[in-house]
Amino acid sequence: MRPHFHIPPEEVEISMIRAQGAGGQNVNKVSNAVHLRFDIAASSLPEPIRERLLLLSDRRVGKDGVVVIKAQEFRSLEKNRSEAMRRLEELIASVAVAPKKRRPTKPTRSSIAKRLDNKSRRAMLKAGRGKVG
């Protein structure tokens, strides 16, 4: 299970915008989509998590180190706000667990011998397919 981080509301900038797409007159009148901005460098997250977030190749993380999330799938402003926060927490949780260091390994003696044996068998099989002189 991934660790859960609480993000203080003062570190997140949420602005209301008009949603795009279908929705009739409601779309033209009501600003119920949410535009969330989260500055990684200015956040209170632990340093290793901030570094991994900045190195993340995700289109939501800009070159300036700001995460931008747009939520507009619900008609309710509150639902869109909570969905945007959920997505931000999910993004942070995805880099919260440090990747394991890879330990390079060598093939065993028997696997090397097996590979070479199969290689010579295959070579003999292919050599037998040539023209008969």
Judge whether 32 and 75 are in contact, CB under 8 Å. yes
Tell me what pLDDT residue 106 has: 95
Cα separation, 92 vs 96, in Å, equals: 6
pTM (predicted TM-score): 0.67
Judge whether 68 and 60 are in contact, CB under 8 Å. yes
Tell me the three state secondary structure of residue 78.
helix
Q: Name the packing angle between helices 77-96 and 47-55 (round to 10°).
A: 100
Cα separation, 121 vs 48, in Å, equals: 51
Of 38, 35, 34, which is closest to residue 12 (Cα–Cα)?
A: 38
Domain boundaries, the chain: 9-96
Q: What is the block-wise mean pLDDT of the chain (133 residues), using blocks of 10 residues? A: 70 82 65 87 84 84 87 86 90 85 94 98 92 77
Tell me what pLDDT residue 131 has: 81
Tell me what pLDDT residue 105 has: 94
Enter the CATH code of domain 9-96.
3.30.160.20
